Amino acid sequence: MNTWHGIPVSPGIAIGPALVLDTEGVRIPRRRVSDEMVPEELIRLQTALVAAATHARNRQSEVATKHGRNIGSIFGSHAVLLEDPTLRYDLETLIRSESYSAEYAVSRHLRAKAKALDAAAAIAGEWATRVKADIIDLEKQLLNLLLGERRESLDDITSPVIVIATDLTPSETAQLDTKMVHAFATESGGPTSHTAILAGALEIPAVVGIGRLLSEISGGDLLIVDGAQGVVIADPDSETLARYEALLQAETDEAGRYEAMLDVEPLTKDGVHIELLGNIEFPSEAIHCLERGAEGVGLYRTEFLYVNKSRAPTEEEHFLAYREVLNAFGPDRPVVIRTLDLGADKFSEATGILNEKNPFLGLRSVRLCLRNKPLFVTQLRAILRASAFGNLKIMFPMISTVLELRQCLSLLLEVQEDLDEAGIDYKRNVPIGTMIEVPSAALVAESLAKQVSFFSIGTNDLVQYVLAADRNNEHVASLYCPVDPAVLKLMKHITVAGQQAEVDITVCGEMSGEPVYAPLLVGLGIRSLSVTPRKIPEIKKVLRCFTVPEAERVASEALRMDTARDVLSYLREQLRRFLPDVAE
Ligand code: PEP
Ligand code: MG
């Protein structure tokens, strides 16, 4: 049994066989073959070994002619490894004795070798590291040859699995078949990456930022993923397996208990209403919100209309998606449609601006929309048309200056005039808000407040920009803390500015769905939270356990602290005090 710890990003327990994706997203399809197929697998193996060795020899002489013998010898050593009779013998033995497919035998055997070299690296140093890199390269070459036409993608999964990958892009994650993919675990990734957010939206348990994992697990190994604790276990012993099976059962029972919270009003212990809204990425999630008792949608991330699309969505496609959500929520419940937040890690291929050196500080989001007016106007027209069907609000993301906000507002006015001229129906006076997720916006919140009727604090980005800690990068995940004193000071500033100008304030970053932060946010003056739908019942339960004066005491105490660690341990202690049976 092996255990790894990573960053927990989507709660839930899953138990099932691993599906290992290589760095190019290709999976190794079959583990075993029938006995009659064994001779064929041996021939496939032999053919692949010969082809790979021949290729290596050819490369050796080509490279040697161009760049000299020393460099050519890199490929010579590949050929030597591939022609090694011991390698062939070991692989054939695995196929014969275990009825493994040729590709599974290659993957299993070479990964075990790579792992052994890792252990040797401490003593043998660079040599072992180099040979390990060669072995991984050879594995890839052999798999490419063996899989050839049989390459399968994430779309072809036909039985339940747990996906293990170096990383999954937001597009790949959005396309996961949730009936088949019961959890995923990745080597890289950070706590509020869009991949992590999608895992929450799709309600798939997930752990990211684990570090080296792929070389340790083979397709088909039995895995346990505990998305709440950030734990991945391979080949569990019977005691561990039984414990997790019981936890899985308890989780199913707990889901039933939360249904009882559906009609319970989100109130603090002293009866102050805290608006609880849902964050969605797809129209189909409107139902997830309603089932959990959301009072509306506080953040609709419309850029996910780009999933599965090689072109920009048409005005009609935008409109139909928005109308579907508005219809689900009826005439009164609010639906906040955020304009496209494309770029950085989200569908940047659709923006046509690839290879930005620093895309999170680049032409992202509203900056991109203001540069590409047809793209922006198409969406604004669709949003305004949809406004006739419910309580729609418009929100602009990534605003960093007052001028930028003014440009958005004046473009919106132009679009309204066009619709007026064309006699197209839309609602006048649609409330307009801005996200506060860039430090500059937080610092000029007083000025922004004059232009809008609501703020939505996007802590996912705010934290990364305040602390200069990439939200996707596991190496700086310990720095990335939403209750770092610097972030808290800015949040305090935003709430004071918002209250003075009488603009409504919602918090829609991932922190709003974490029970441990609920007293702090309420104590800072927040009266509206927008969270991943599955978090709604739990947050409702937590809110009912403290009064507003208690929350205010928590916030003012937290604001006096000097380090994120102190704030976090103080908030944990307070949560235990308010609600002894809630895990953080
Ligand atoms: C945020 O930054 O907090 C936010 C809600 O936006 P996103 O996660 O889509 O960047
Ligand atoms: Mg954001």
136 vs 332, residue with greater confidence: 332
> What residue's CA is closest to ligand 1, atom 6?
458
Please give the pLDDT value at position 251.
Answer: 83
pLDDT of residue 122: 67
- How remote is the CA of residue 461 from the centroid of ligand 1, in Å? 6
Q: What is the SS3 string spanning 336-402?
A: EEECCCCECCECHHHHCCCCCCCHHHCCCCHHHHHHCHHHHHHHHHHHHHHHHHCEEEEEECCCCCH
Q: Is the CB of 461 under 6 A from ligand 1?
A: yes
235 versus 128: the higher-pLDDT residue is 235
The atom number, within ligand 1, closest to the CA of 461 reads 2
Render pLDDT for 367-412 as a digit per residue (tens, 0 to 9): 999 999 999 999 999 999 999 999 999 999 999 999 999 999 999 9
Q: Cβ–Cβ contacts within 10 Å for residue 187, how many?
A: 20
Atom of ligand 1 nearest to the CA of 509: 3
pLDDT at 517 over 90: yes
Ligand 1 pocket check for 460: Cβ under 6 Å: yes
pLDDT beyond 70 at 462: yes
Strand 2-5 and strand 231-234: pairing?
A: antiparallel
What DSSP character marks residue 312? P
Atom of ligand 1 nearest to the CA of 299: 5
Q: How many angstroms is it from 460 CA to the middle of ligand 2?
A: 6
Question: Which residue in 549, 505, 472 sits closest to 173, CA to CA?
Answer: 472
Give the residue from 257, 255, 304 showing the smallest Cα distance to 279: 304
Cα separation, 442 vs 493, in Å, equals 7
What distances in angstroms separate CA 505 from CA 436, 499, 502, one per listed residue?
10, 8, 9
The answer, yes or no, to whether any atom of ligand 1 lies below 6 A from the CB of 528, is no
Q: Check if 550 has its Cβ closer than 6 Å to any atom of ligand 1.
A: no
- Residue of 461, 467, 472, 530 with the most ligand 1 atoms within 8 Å of its CB, for mutation: 461
Ligand with smallest separation from the Cα of 457? 1
Nearest protein CA to atom 9 of ligand 1, as residue? 301
Q: What is the pLDDT of residue 524?
A: 98
Sign (positive or negative) of CA dihedral 412, 417, 422, 424: positive
Nearest alpha carbon, ligand 1 atom 3? 458
- pLDDT, tens digit, 9 for 90 and up, residues 49-74: 999 999 889 988 887 887 778 777 87
Average pLDDT over residues 189-202: 84
- In this prediction, residues 146-162 reach a mean pLDDT of 73
Q: What is the pLDDT of residue 461?
A: 97
Question: According to the model, what pLDDT value does residue 13 have?
Answer: 95
Residue nearest to atom 1 of ligand 1 (CA): 458
Sign of CA dihedral 567, 568, 571, 576: negative
CB 437 less than 6 A from any atom of ligand 1: yes
| Higher-confidence position of 150 and 221 | 221
Closest ligand 1 atom to residue 301 Cα is 9
Residue 472 CA to residue 20 CA, distance in Å, equals 21
Taking the C-alpha atoms of residue 493 and residue 508, their distance in angstroms, rounded to an integer, is: 17
The mean of the pLDDT values for the chain is 90
Cβ 343 under 6 angstroms from ligand 1:
no
Please tell me the number of the ligand nearest to residue 298's CA.
Answer: 1
| Distance from residue 261's CA to the centre of ligand 1 (Å) | 27
Q: pLDDT digit string (tens) for 437-447?
A: 999 999 999 99
Higher pLDDT, 307 or 143: 143
pLDDT of residue 584: 47
CB contact set of 101 (below 8 Å; sequence gap of 6+): 29, 30, 31, 32, 33, 41, 95
Q: How far is the CA of 67 from the centre of ligand 1 (A)?
A: 49
Residue type, 283: P
459 lines ligand 1 (CB under 6 A): yes
**pLDDT of 186 higher than 60:** yes
First-to-final CA distance of the chain: 27
Give the number of the atom of ligand 1 that is nearest the alpha carbon of residue 397: 6
Active site amino acids = 194, 508
Q: How far is the CA of 437 from the centre of ligand 2 (A)?
A: 6
Short-list 94, 79, 260, 284, CA closest to 201: 284
Residue 17 near residue 161 (C-beta atoms within 8 A): yes
Residue 562 has pLDDT above 60, yes or no: yes
Ligand 1 site, residue 365, Cβ cutoff 6 A: no
Distance 487 CA to ligand 2 centre (A): 15
Residue 281, ligand 1, Cβ within 6 A: no
Ligand 1 neighbour 328 (Cβ under 6 A) = no
What's the per-residue H, E or C state across 252-279?
HHHHHHHHCCCCCCCECCCCCECEEEEE
**Cα Rg of the chain, angstroms:** 27
Residues 6+ apart with CB under 8 A from 246: none
Q: Which of residues 15 and 125 earns the better pLDDT score?
A: 15
Bridge pairing between strands 206-208 and 528-531: unpaired
What pLDDT, on the 0 to 100 scale, is given for residue 29? 58
Which atom from ligand 1 is nearest to the alpha carbon of 459?
A: 3
- Centre of ligand 2 to C-alpha 458, Å, is 5
Element (H, E) at 201: helix 194-202
Other CB atoms closer than 10 Å to residue 272's CB: what's the count?
A: 14
Residue 182 CA to ligand 2 center (angstroms) comes to: 27
